[in-house]
């Protein structure tokens, strides 16, 4: 028997950072994101030799263990180990023998939610294999708990829910980890136009999002007014983006992205740097009306809104930075699992 799963990566279009505690607990957060045709994949094959094999094809890491109720969290393939340990503890109560193989279409640190999406894909594969009683909210919340509580990895709440639910969603975040996912019914012509105008540029650099997120959280805890005010504005940006997309006011999207980016830079140090600023300024000079760094900032992918057929001019102008344009489509489905 072979069990497979795939979960989509996402573009965070507005409100990024408002899903991070303690801000979301104190003030409530709001984010608008959309899943794209890039995925995290997981395959489970049961074994009969009392072994656990963890195989990451993209990272070129393969680990072998004797079957056990708990695997050591030691910095090697911890996301997979965290999922396995939690599944055994909460559901199965006895060790399992299997080989887990994973692959992600984007590198770690890309800003597309790769880590959390991989957790969702792995957890989804286990749920398919073991018939675990997990609905969409249950699975997304458990993935969040594994990553944030069990593995103590800094981050927000949006990625697990985006990967599980899929599509374009307006998400609300409240204290005690309460999350409400509001799927948006957007006309297909608006989505096609949005995908045409939004250029996804890979800077070919990575960043450690946890450092930026920790700095952002500390600024809220220390009541740094500039950081908190910027985060308030980003929450309002999510509402602005939702209204613009639903109404088809796509000409406003570049302006809304720029409004968010200018505020995002005030949340914490490290969100931008000289290279990112140069990329952004070059894009604007060649026709882009706004953009942002995907995820926490500091590197990875940059999203640029290029209306009126300016995308080609912008793409040509960005070639000097040595990055690459990532092709994608928006997707409507979230986590998918199946057996062979």
**Positions marked active-site:** 159
Residue 41 main-chain phi, psi, to 5 deg: -120, 145
Q: Are the beta carbons of 82 and 119 closer than 8 angstroms?
A: yes
- What letter would DSSP give residue 59? T
Q: Are the beta carbons of 143 and 126 closer than 8 angstroms?
A: no
Contacts of 294 (CB under 8 A, 6+ apart): 11, 12, 110, 111, 112, 200, 300, 301, 302, 303
**Sole residue written with tokens 């602005």:** 240
Which helix H or strand E contains 181, and what residues bound it?
A: strand 178-183
């Amino acid at each position: 028997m072979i069990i497979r799963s795939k979960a989509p990566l996402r573009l965070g279009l507005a409100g990024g950072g408002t899903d991070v505690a303690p801000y979301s607990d104190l003030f409530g957060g709001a984010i608008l994101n959309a899943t794209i045709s890039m995925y995290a994949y997981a395959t489970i094959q049961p074994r009969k030799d009392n072994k656990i094999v963890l195989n990451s094809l993209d990272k070129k890491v393969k680990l072998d263990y004797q079957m056990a109720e708990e695997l050591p969290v030691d910095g090697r393939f911890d996301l997979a180990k965290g999922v396995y340990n939690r599944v055994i503890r909460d559901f199965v109560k006895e060790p399992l023998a299997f080989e887990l193989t994973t692959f992600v279409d984007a590198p770690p640190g890309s800003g597309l939610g790769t880590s959390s999406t991989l957790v969702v894909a792995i957890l989804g594969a286990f749920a398919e294999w073991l018939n675990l009683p997990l609905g969409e909210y249950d699975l997304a919340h458990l993935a969040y708990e594994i990553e944030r509580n069990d593995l103590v990895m800094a981050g927000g709440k949006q990625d697990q829910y985006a990967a599980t639910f899929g599509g374009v969603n307006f998400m609300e975040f409240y204290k005690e980890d309460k999350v409400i996912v509001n799927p948006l019914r957007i006309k297909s012509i608006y989505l096609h136009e949005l995908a045409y105008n939004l250029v996804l540029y890979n800077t070919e650099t990575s960043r450690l999002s946890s450092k930026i997120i920790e700095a952002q959280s500390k600024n809220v805890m220390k009541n740094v007014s500039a950081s908190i005010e910027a985060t308030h504005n980003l929450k309002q940006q999510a509402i602005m983006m939702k209204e613009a997309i639903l109404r088809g006011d796509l000409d406003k999207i570049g302006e809304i992205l720029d409004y968010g980016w200018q505020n995002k830079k005030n949340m914490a140090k490290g969100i931008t740097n000289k290279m990112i600023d140069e990329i952004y300024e070059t894009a604007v000079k060649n026709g882009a009306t706004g953009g942002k760094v995907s995820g926490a900032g500091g590197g990875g992918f940059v999203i640029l809104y290029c209306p009126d057929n300016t995308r080609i001019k912008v793409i040509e102008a960005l070639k000097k930075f040595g990055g690459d344009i990532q092709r994608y489509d928006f997707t409507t489905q979230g986590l998918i699992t199946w057996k062979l």
